[in-house]
Structure formats: structure tokens, C-alpha cells
């Protein structure tokens, strides 16, 4: 599996949420991640998809796609942020690179999910291993929340 396939599945999961439950994007990161986990679970059926998984060193990704009980097939970690600033993205990139891509976890990929518009300046990152999904554009219109998504 390559990063683009993971990005495509993540984008589709976010679109499905936007189509059926757009108000979720206005809630907490934890709630958003639990809804996203449910959609990703359908798309990554050969793996386990967990939310707020606490690792041995007390570090935890917002969502992890892996095989439970071992580190032999750790596929992807997700970090989600609402209205992130460049500094927030850098901290999440550092966490992915310095914790989850290394021993003992060896995750293959990382995804940053921006719930809200990305900042104008993005930190540098390895695009072959890390991707960004941007979900933004909700507006209240006649008591109805509308959302758009950009990758």
C-alpha cells in the first residue's frame, strides 16, 4: 500500500462524514476521530483501527491502523487538529517522525488531518510517507451545516 491510496481512503471517509453528519466537524477532536475511525475501519478491514491508543511510552496517535498485540504490521498513524497553526503541524510531524516511525513501532505512514483551513506555511515533510487531508468550509445556513473538503 502507498501513501496515495491511504490519502484517497481517508479523503473518502471524511467525505462520507461530511455527507451524512457534517455537524461532527464542529465537535471535539476526540469525537471526530471516533467517527473517522468507524469509517476507516470499513476501508481497512484487514487491520485493526483504534482511537487514542496509548502506547508503552505514553505517546498516542489520534488513530492507528495496525495489527493489535505486535508491531509487525503497523500501517498508519493519524494526528488530527482543529484549525492548526504551522507550529501545531510541526509538533505532530515531529511526533510521527520521532516516535511512531521509529523503534519499536515502525509505522509505515502518517496522516495529518486539518479540521479547518491549513495555515499558509506548511512545515517540510516526506510526501512519500506522510500526507495531509484538509477538511474545511462549513457554514451555518438556515440551521443547516454545509461542508466542503479539500485535499
Position 56 scores a pLDDT of 64
Prediction pTM value: 0.87
- Helix (H) or strand (E) run with residue 101 in it: none
Of the pLDDT bands very low, low, confident and very high (cuts 50, 70, 90), residue 72 is confident
Domain 3-150 has CATH 3.40.1350: yes
pLDDT at 142 over 70: no
Q: Which of 28-37, 42-51, 57-66 shows the lowest mean pLDDT across its residues? A: 57-66
In terms of phi and psi (left: phi > 0; alpha: psi -120 to 50; beta: otherwise), the region of 143 is left
Q: Which residue has the cell 473538503?
A: 149
Amino acid at each position: 500500500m502507498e501513501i496515495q491510496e491511504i490519502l484517497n481512503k481517508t479523503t473518502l471517509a471524511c467525505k462520507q462524514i461530511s455527507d451524512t453528519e457534517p455537524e461532527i466537524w464542529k465537535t471535539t477532536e476526540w469525537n471526530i476521530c471516533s467517527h473517522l475511525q468507524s469509517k476507516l475501519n470499513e476501508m481497512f478491514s484487514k487491520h485493526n483501527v483504534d482511537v487514542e491508543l496509548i502506547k508503552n511510552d505514553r505517546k498516542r496517535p489520534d488513530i492507528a491502523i495496525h495489527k493489535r498485540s505486535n508491531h509487525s504490521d503497523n500501517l498508519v498513524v493519524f494526528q488530527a487538529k482543529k484549525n492548526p497553526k504551522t507550529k501545531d503541524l510541526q509538533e505532530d510531524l515531529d511526533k510521527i517522525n520521532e516516535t511512531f516511525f521509529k523503534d519499536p513501532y515502525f509505522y509505515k505512514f502518517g496522516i495529518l488531518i486539518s479540521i479547518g483551513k491549513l495555515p499558509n506555511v506548511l512545515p517540510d515533510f516526506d510526501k512519500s510517507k506522510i500526507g495531509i487531508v484538509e477538511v474545511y468550509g462549513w457554514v451555518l445556513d438556515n440551521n443547516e451545516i454545509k461542508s466542503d473538503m479539500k485535499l
